[in-house]
Amino acid sequence: MRARLMVATVLALPLAACAAAHKPPPEGEQAATTRPPVTAQPHADDPELAQYFIDPAHEPALPREKLISLLRQRIKYVFVIFNENESFDHEYGTFPGANGLYSDGGAPRGAEATPGFRQSYVDPATGSAVWVQPFRLGPQQNATAMDSADHSHKGLAAKLDVVDGTARMDGFAQVEFSGKSGPAKTEAEIARGRQYANLVMSYVDCDTIPFFWRYASRFTLFDNIFATEDTPSTPNAIAMIAGQSGETQWVKHGAAGTSAAMSGTINGDSYDGVGLTAGVPVVDDPNPFWGSQFDPNDPRVEPSSPAERYGRHGDAYNVSANLTFATVPLIAMGREIRTTLSGDAHPETNQADIARDIPAIEARGDAPVAWRWYQNGYDREPTDPPGEATHRNFVAHHEGPQYFGYLADNARVRESLRGLGDFFADLSAGRLPAQGGIVYVRGGFGNLQGLQTPIQNPDFPAALTPEDIAHIRAAKAGDDDHPAYGDRQISEAMAARVINAIAANPGLWSQSAIVITYDESDGFYDHVPPRILSYGPDGLPLSRGIRVPLLLISPYARVHAVAHPEGDHNAVIQTLEEVFGLPALASLPEEREALAAGDSPEFNRFGPPGFHQRYLGPRDINSPVTDSLLAGFDPARLAGTAPPLPGSYATIPEKVVDTLPHYGGEGCKAIGITPEDVRQGIASDPPSGFNSLPSTLPAYNGPSP
């Protein structure tokens, strides 16, 4: 039986009414809303949760400066589990208390008031519009694994469908059908297009990702965080540490790529001569300059990915320009910045756009802050043969620091770049920085535990053969939640292992904050229109992208709460700056100058008439368009008037983590949560003949939707 709908005494106060603010205010203006920054979630059948719950409506209203001061006293480590490609509505669209598909978080909301809820594509077989709307995928549809939607820069812009400055959020179905049915539009292509036009509108819940929903219920879920850039993964991997994907470099030097010498062999392709790198801002998925055929080091010290292409058709090169603007690792160097940068092998080019930032950071006299970026496959992993680093799990275009020469081309800094196995080894051996620091954790193409996609219904989308099952498991073994190659329960198992390892160390847990978030949406439908803050040199919306999930876990986090402040990856950066006392990237001389120069006729012309490019660079200073994650911390716990949450409260038993499907496919029952569609009695079954793996198992696409 699903969780009770009655409200327990400890959660007796109802949610504050949440206004459905579907149309964002004009760029740069304060969003109009009646909801408070944080609201309680409805009751869940979780006695341990009830023990720790404090209603946000009863919390002390501490000044921001006081909260930051308390945060600095309590938190020494911030861990960022940085996952891949999920929109908020796709994973949390029916999460109780959140602004989702069927509720604004406080009250039910109908389809007519939900942007893009019903949308259509034109089927060439009939010439008529076919209407689609959101539907649930669960264990009966093997929902832990599905195929990836269109998340190209152009595709995402078309999905947003920006008219008069407002994203209508109604282009998802048509973009998927048009792109997946192809120009020839054969019968097979049309069948695939129909499947994708439905797939993009799907969503999952606690039966499919029970660990993530458990964390969201026990701690704080943010429901107003967006991708920094309206692009695929690489620009947002860069934005996670820079708050931008190259807007500063564009303003200073123009958008074109650079000609550079290249040589060597990567993945069987040989390069020699001069080639052209991709331009800025980065809007596609080029691989990092460092470790590519353009890397001037011989031998190259940064890895390439054996599963990725570094060139296209022999004459166009899928490699980013060397990035040279400020990042979190740069400001973290503090007063030792010149010493740290002395390890840079090519400072004259690598530091081209931080020349004035360096003395500004040094003059502050801040103590350096240690940081690490652990990513699956970066170096030798425990699953590799002895003495060999295969890099087979490595997704190079997800490795944010590898795009910056003053980081990746710097012998003093490269020690901070490590594999996923190193995270667990370092934690176990006590090798995390003793003084605290910033730790990013990323998955990859495979997983280190040997977990396999759980096939819960062998008769979906049809009677699966052993070959089908083997194919699915080979194609969906990744642990970073990316639909193209990952499995959702393998991914949440990886996150659980990280959180369990932290929580098992009382000294570490008591000083930690953990953020789980995503780079971008994979192009899955979300109903909340992002503010359009900037346009790129192609004239398409650049920032922001589609809403993504973000969870905050900490001994000092709010319990069973939904936080509503608006932000993107800059919100994470701003939080790091608040915790560690670092200067805002946007306050540095080079970035500040670029932000001012961007609001000029030269750059405003890329937007619609009258638009001002005020955000061509980082925006990690608190303002009406962006906030940090401060709302997710409990003032009483920070102040010491309520006890911190124990590590056991965040822990999921190892046996549960290792057993797929998690909770036997009955995750909602196990964690005591009733999804919003179930609570309202809304039927949301998949369309007849639906196939959630239209590219992996194309034989089952069928002749009709």
pLDDT in tens, 61-87: 899 999 999 999 999 999 999 999 999
Residues 580-594, mean pLDDT to the nearest whole number = 98
Q: Using alpha carbons, list the distances in angstroms from residue 651 to 95, 221, 499, 646.
A: 21, 17, 7, 9
* pLDDT on residue 182: 81
- Binning pLDDT at 50, 70 and 90, where does residue 17 land? very low
- Binning pLDDT at 50, 70 and 90, where does residue 368 land? very high
Share of the chain above pLDDT 70, in %: 94
pLDDT of 32 strictly over 50: no
pLDDT of 5 strictly over 80: no
Q: How many CB atoms lie within 10 A of CB 252?
A: 17
pLDDT of 296 strictly over 80: yes
- Binning pLDDT at 50, 70 and 90, where does residue 14 land? very low
- Binning pLDDT at 50, 70 and 90, where does residue 702 land? confident
Average pLDDT value over all residues in the chain: 93
Question: SS in 3 state form for 655-667?
Answer: HHHHCCCHHHHCH
Query: Alpha-carbon distance 156 to 161, whole Å?
Result: 9
Contacts of 339 (CB under 8 A, 6+ apart): 412
pLDDT of 423 strictly over 80: yes
Residue 546 has which token pair?
């589609």
Residues 665-687, mean pLDDT to the nearest whole number = 97
Residues 653-676, mean pLDDT to the nearest whole number = 98
Query: Alpha-carbon distance 29 to 448, whole Å?
Result: 46
Asked, as a colleague might, if the bond just before 42 is cis with ω within 30 of 0, I would say no
Domains and CATH numbers, the chain: 1-16+23-705 (3.40.720.10)
Q: Can you state the angle between helices 488-503 and 420-428, rounded to 10 degrees?
A: 20
Parallel, antiparallel or unpaired: strands 534-535 and 417-418? unpaired
* CB 483 within 8 Å of CB 146: yes
Query: Alpha-carbon distance 521 to 230, whole Å?
Result: 9
pLDDT in tens, 399-415: 999 999 999 999 999 99
Query: Alpha-carbon distance 263 to 169, whole Å?
Result: 44
* pLDDT on residue 185: 84
AA identity, residue 417: L
pLDDT in tens, 323-342: 999 999 999 999 999 999 99
* pLDDT on residue 313: 52
Parallel, antiparallel or unpaired: strands 38-40 and 561-563? antiparallel
pLDDT in tens, 194-225: 999 999 999 999 999 999 999 999 999 999 99
* CB 310 within 8 Å of CB 269: yes
Report long-range pairs for 684-691 (Cβ below 8 Å, ≥24 apart).
Answer: 684/134, 684/135, 684/136, 685/135, 685/136, 686/135, 686/136, 686/137, 686/141, 686/198, 686/202, 687/132, 687/135, 687/198, 689/461, 690/141, 690/195, 690/198, 690/199, 690/461, 691/195, 691/461
Of residues 444, 447, 440, 446, the one with CA closest to residue 395: 444
* CB 257 within 8 Å of CB 276: yes
